[in-house]
Structure 1
């Protein structure tokens, strides 16, 4: 199953014949957060910009990081105003902070929103430009980052986004009504300190949403268009991070899916199940490395519209008072519909993925792959308390066209899907994603 060699498919005409393996340096284990000061000093940091959010700043782990940095003799400036779901405006506030502080290194402590905000601050403080200069085309100009950034140590506090090992930063562009982002290897944190103890206080609802983000990272990377089906870059150094499915990313996808099948429901149900939460943190790291090299596709591309157009949905377990569809929730609500559609292109991979998640695929043939995987995803969604499709977060049939319009600009993601994602296809997928089970 899967593949063990580079050329698992014949190279398409004009397509790439190689893939590149990239990752941040990762330290994983309970208590490793206390290493941050020594590691920052080893990277040459003297004045550190520490990014976090107001919630994390009240936790003991924040004190652990501050104490470690100060014990290493480092000067410290702290930015605590990160938004749970960053916007262009919240990014600009963080950029101004970094530009004024002029640090020689960065530390982020928080979930994906904190790490992404820190990446953006590092980028624009190091290489100032108009805000849309580096933003992915067609929303922004999509210009390459001119050179290296300052060192950045990312310390994730949720088992979900994988941002600590990727070169991607995501935000809500208010004028567009959808999420977009910046993708560059230059944004990838220098190091990641992944301490499972950071998730001990997370509510089950947050673990569920972030865990389902991990699950979809792995599923999308494993089913993405193969790297030998992506057009060859004009120069090797222009090879994109979203290379498509490849042997390196497949390794992380397989293990992440297996771990999610075993531990997600346990980790959501019981905050004292330390084994489950540690394994979810490890799965998040593996899936982050995988999708940081293969790329995700339609569920994520559609999720940016779902989150960006939210009207009045307020999830439990999240402190933000404004309407919000958490990222992992926005992703998974699209996933069953998408994988029913994409299974026709690579049924074996869809069946393999369903099996690693714990589905019984005995007797299933290629024509059953989409339904087997979708059914398993729906069972997991119900077990961890997800809404019943897009209707559960406030959307109706009348919103399908607007949702498709919000998703269409996400071409970096949609073009990584194994099947074509036209406007009519997206409208059909959003329609199917409105609900999955009888009330």
Structure 2
């Protein structure tokens, strides 16, 4: 199967003229040390008054319960007069069945109407379960009703539901501001998303004091996901290089880069690349942790507005088949995809990325400077010493596997490939996967 480049890459229903309008939608954001102490205020600001005896659900995982972070969140809410229940069943790389379990819990305890508010607390997996649960409860039915065809029924969400506040404990996924919940479809070995502005949370609280317990490997791997968002957002299509959506409602959530998203990308790359070494090797450094959390937020604003592209498209088949962590999958694929294959799409822009990552491009031609982005990124990963050297080390992927991975990428990830700045055929994807087997020896 092959695919060609069309200027309508991001808008299936479009007019035959360039887009002229861009749109940015964000949750309310509170960021800083001890931001959790403003959670009750945030809920009240969203209309949830503790005097009305509201009942809320905290969606999280068992690890965060065990280390005491969840108690810190619930204690703050209970001290402010909020009644909360904890569901700690979120799994790593959650499946549709995992979300179904949370939805069933909600309906058994609160009926079809669900809780009065929701709090998603944890890494991207916990947050995506919280987003998907709130959305399905608000709109009725089951998860598959809102997954795109042919896997699901492709129904549109029409209601956002009661307030949802998200508290990330990792600096990586950007799920706290994303309009997408990514879920595994295990029987098909693919990942699908519920994509809608009705999935997006109402508010996000980013508190770096929750991230100091992250071990070095998780710190490094999640940071590579955040850096991927920033670089992909900086190098994808400009919004006015796409065709105009037929109406505002059909404008996609990934709609091309703008001057605003470029500024966020640049700051994200600076913060992440200059602080991740410290955060990995000295995890108690709260200043570095706070910078990482801001960098991840800025990278998400850039990449998850402008559009994630080829690297993320390739990562989903890998993650689903080999059950790898998303962040480390992005890490091993970025050199060959975003910084390798895509560099030919705009060498001048990729040369700028190389400079942001710290490469010395003085006296180097533009195309050669673009290639330095890849080598500088690999140097960063080697310094961290927690990133696999390629797909082979990550999951024992070998030459026999790349054809299947390439086919899955092109056949199931057109939503993301449409955002890529360079056309991708199955043959291209095969070559890129082969290139990603070994990033260094």
- The TM-score, its normalising length taken from structure 2, stands at 0.91
C-alpha distance in 2, partners of 1:186/1:292? 15
C-alpha change, 1:222 and 1:27, in structure 2 (3 Å) is same
Shift in Å at residue 230 of structure 1? 2.1
**Secondary structure of residue in 2 paired with 1:416:** coil
Structure 1 distance, partners of 2:355, 2:152, is 39
Aligned match of 1:96: 104
Aligned twin of 1:422: 425
Superposition pairs of residues 76-87 of structure 1, within 5 angstroms: 76-87=84-95
Gap runs ≥5 in structure 1: 1-11, 311-323
**Quick check: 1:179 aligned with 2:202?**
no
Q: 1:404 aligns with which of 403, 406, 429?
A: 406
Tell which has more relative contact order, 1 or 2 (C-alpha 8 A, sep 6+).
Answer: 2
Looking at structure 2, the residues matched to 132 and 60 of structure 1 have their Cα atoms a distance apart, in angstroms, of 34
Cα distance in 2, alignment partners of residues 330 and 294 from structure 1: 21
Shift of 1:54: 0.3
CA drift at 1:380: 1.4
Alpha-carbon separation, structure 1, partners of 2:302 and 2:134: 24
CA displacement at 1:141 relative to structure 2: 4.0
Separation in structure 2 between the aligned mates of residue 149 and residue 19 of structure 1, nearest angstrom: 25
Partner of 2:5: none
Q: 1:13/1:366 Cα in 2 relative to 1: closer, same or farther (>3 Å)?
A: farther
Structure 1 position 121, deviation (Å): 0.5
C-alpha distance in 2 between matches for 1:138 and 1:400:
24
Counterparts of 1:206-245 in structure 2, within 5 Å, are 206-245=218-257
* 1:115 partnered with 2:116: no
Give the equivalent residue in structure 1 for 2:138. Answer: 126
CA contact (8 A) 2:181 2:193 kept: yes
- My pick for the range that moved more, 348-357 or 142-151, is 142-151
SS in 2 for 1:76: strand
Match of 1:159, SS state, is coil
User: Do structure 1's residue 41 and structure 2's residue 49 form an aligned pair?
Assistant: no
Q: Equivalent residue of 2:30, what SS?
A: strand
Partner of 1:5: none
Q: Quick check: 1:284 aligned with 2:292?
A: no
Alignment correspondent of 1:26: 29
- Contact kept? 1:38, 1:68, Cα under 8 Å: no
TM-fit CA distance, 1:84:
1.5
Q: Distance in 1 between matches of 2:187 and 2:246?
A: 33
Alpha-carbon displacement from aligned partner over 1:117-176 (angstroms, at most 9, x marks no partner): 000100111112343232245543443212222210000111111111111111111022
Report the equivalent of 1:326.
Answer: 325
Could you tell me how far apart the structure 2 residues matched to 1:18 and 1:233 are? Answer: 10
Partner of 2:66: 58
* Correspondence for 2:206 among 194, 203, 206: 194
Structural RMSD (CA): 1.5
Check if 1:358 corresponds to 2:361. Answer: no
Moved more, 278-287 or 361-370: 361-370
**Change over 3 Å in CA distance of 1:130–1:67 after alignment to 2:** closer
- Secondary structure of 1:82's aligned partner: coil
Aligned to 1:342: 342
Residue of structure 1 equivalent to 2:274:
262
Counterpart CA distance in 1 for 2:98 and 2:162 is 21
Alignment deviations for residues 171-193 of structure 1 (CA, whole Å, 9 cap, x no partner): 11102212221111111110111
Please give the secondary structure, in 1, of the residue aligned with 2:288.
helix
Q: Is the 8 A contact 2:348 2:367 kept in 1?
A: no
Q: Distance in 1 between matches of 2:45 and 2:429?
A: 48
User: Does the CA contact (< 8 Å) of 1:299 and 1:332 recur in 2?
Assistant: no
